[in-house]
């Protein structure tokens, strides 16, 4: 499965959940309110916790609904079953619609800018065709909420695999090449049963914090200035099923109302403090990179105002934007705040 996502903790989930397990007995409840791909949520659920997953953006909510709430292949009665639903996506008729126009190599963006080469013409039209078909089924009331999320989840994964980008959707590559020339693919997911009771929400952690009635909260905020809303605008548009104005050369949807305070150096410390002030849980775990905008000493001094702090460290592969930045592994830190 292709999750191409900044700060994705798939490879660190074992270590993170192992550390949480040394403090929090299985069977307890934990919230992951900045869940991204839901990789940590899923690892927590597999370990036996009840998980509340949330995110400020809509597409992580689609991932979390699918990965946490779909315990078995959905029935997809309208199309004859899960395998048939995948076949139905593979064979959806192409449409020269919004994606074709705004994000396809042969498109003509509404603002008159040159074609945006995020996708080959065929893939852009196939994405439009699937979006139209999902909208139609949904309008007919033929999809359950989970089925709807599973289809969008598949479309996002398939889109990620063929996107003509270098890492994020901040911009597209000059020439369509490599994986972008391949067609969209839809592979069956493995659905897993877990013992806990799971919930998926959407919203800013600053707003949700006071409502998270769990035994613990795991926070995984952005640690660089790269805003997720702008860098993943194409996925947000798939999840929202809308056709927003695509601005400028890059075709970004309006995103500033979804900007994260954790991405602004001047606001990040305040965002940590405000979130912690609102949380009413005994344990808070926070992932933050050594390369984060908030320096280690500043973060420790904020966290110490809320309780005893233990720091766990793990070397990890460093994300290098456009080949720049420091070399070698980076230290990923997991802070445990035993809330006073």
Ligand X SMILES: C[S@@+](CC[C@H](N)C(=O)[O-])C[C@H]1O[C@@H](n2cnc3c(N)ncnc32)[C@H](O)[C@@H]1O
Site for ligand X contains 220 (CB under 6 A): yes
Return phi, psi of residue 251, to 5°: 75, 30
Nearer to ligand X, 133 or 235 (CB): 235
Site for ligand X contains 57 (CB under 6 A): yes
Could you tell me which stretch among 35-43, 82-90, 124-132, 238-246 binds ligand X (CB under 6 A)?
A: 35-43
Least separation, in Å, of the C-beta of 260 and ligand X?
3
Could you tell me which stretch among 78-86, 94-102, 139-147, 199-207 binds ligand X (CB under 6 A)?
A: 199-207
Gap between the Cα atoms of 305 and 312, Å rounded: 19
Nearer to ligand X, 120 or 227 (CB): 227
Tokens of 251: 């075709």
Half-sphere exposure of 320 (CA within 13 A, CB side): 10
Nearer to ligand X, 60 or 109 (CB): 60
Least separation, in Å, of the C-beta of 221 and ligand X?
6
Gap between the Cα atoms of 160 and 179, Å rounded: 10
Characterize the bridge pairing of strands 199-202 and 50-55: parallel
The answer to whether 184 and 126 are in contact (CB under 8 A) is yes
Alpha helices in 13-144 (DSSP H): 13-21, 39-47, 58-64, 82-90, 98-103, 121-139
Tokens of 203: 């919203």
Site for ligand X contains 289 (CB under 6 A): no
Of 10, 19, 8, 1, which is closest to residue 333 (Cα–Cα)?
19
Nearer to ligand X, 101 or 233 (CB): 233
Least separation, in Å, of the C-beta of 257 and ligand X?
12
Using CB under 6 A as the binding rule, the residues of this chain from 79 to 138 that contact ligand X are: none
Could you tell me which stretch among 6-14, 105-113, 238-246, 319-327 binds ligand X (CB under 6 A)?
A: 6-14
Least separation, in Å, of the C-beta of 80 and ligand X?
33
Query: How long is the chain?
Result: 340
Could you tell me which stretch among 180-188, 201-209, 246-254, 326-334 binds ligand X (CB under 6 A)?
A: 201-209
Site for ligand X contains 34 (CB under 6 A): yes
Kindly state the DSSP code that residue 54 receives in the 8-state scheme: E
- CB atoms inside a 10 Å sphere around CB 185: 14
Site for ligand X contains 8 (CB under 6 A): yes
Nearer to ligand X, 42 or 85 (CB): 42
Site for ligand X contains 37 (CB under 6 A): yes
Gap between the Cα atoms of 115 and 100, Å rounded: 10
Site for ligand X contains 204 (CB under 6 A): yes
Gap between the Cα atoms of 336 and 286, Å rounded: 7
DSSP per-residue codes, 142-201 = -S-HHHHHHHHHHHHHHHHHH--BSSSTTSB-SS--GGGGSPP---PPPP---SS--EEE
Instruction: Work out which of 31, 40, 156, 276 binds ligand X, going by CB under 6 A.
Output: 40
Nearer to ligand X, 56 or 89 (CB): 56
Site for ligand X contains 236 (CB under 6 A): no
Least separation, in Å, of the C-beta of 175 and ligand X?
29
Binding residues vs ligand X (CB under 6 A) = 5, 7-9, 33-37, 39-40, 55-57, 60, 204-206, 220-222, 228, 260, 262
């Amino acid at each position: 499965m292709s999750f191409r996502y900044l700060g994705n903790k798939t490879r660190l989930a074992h270590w993170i959940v192992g550390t949480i397990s040394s403090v929090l007995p299985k069977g307890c409840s934990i919230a992951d309110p900045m869940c991204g791909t839901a990789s940590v949520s899923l690892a927590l659920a597999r370990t036996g916790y009840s998980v509340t997953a949330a995110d400020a953006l809509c597409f992580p909510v689609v991932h979390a609904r699918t990965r946490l709430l779909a315990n078995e292949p959905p029935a997809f009665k309208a199309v004859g079953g899960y395998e048939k639903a995948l076949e139905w996506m593979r064979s959806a008729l192409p449409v020269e619609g919004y994606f074709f126009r705004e994000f396809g190599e042969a498109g003509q963006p509404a603002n008159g800018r040159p074609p945006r080469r995020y996708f080959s013409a065929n893939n852009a039209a196939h994405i439009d065709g699937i979006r139209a078909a999902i909208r139609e089924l949904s309008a007919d009331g033929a999809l359950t909420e989970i089925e709807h999320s599973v289809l969008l989840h598949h479309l996002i994964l398939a889109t990620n695999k063929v996107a003509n980008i270098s890492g994020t959707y901040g911009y597209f590559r000059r020439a369509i090449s490599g994986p972008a020339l391949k067609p969209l693919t839809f592979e069956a997911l493995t659905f897993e049963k877990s013992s806990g009771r799971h919930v998926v929400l959407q919203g800013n952690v600053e707003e949700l914090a006071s409502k998270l009635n769990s035994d613990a909260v795991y926070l995984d905020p952005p640690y660089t200035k790269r805003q997720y809303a702008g860098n993943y605008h194409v996925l947000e548009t798939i999840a929202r099923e809308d056709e927003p104005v695509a601005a400028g050369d890059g075709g970004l949807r309006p995103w500033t109302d979804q900007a994260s305070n954790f991405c602004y150096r001047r606001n990040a410390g305040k965002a940590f403090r405000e979130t912690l002030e609102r949380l009413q849980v005994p344990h808070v775990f926070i992932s933050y990179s050594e390369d984060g905008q908030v320096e280690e000493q500043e973060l420790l001094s904020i966290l110490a105002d809320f309780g005893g702090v233990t720091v766990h460290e793990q070397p990890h592969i460093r994300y290098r934007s456009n080949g720049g930045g420091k070399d070698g592994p980076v230290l990923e830190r997991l802070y445990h705040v035993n809330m006073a």
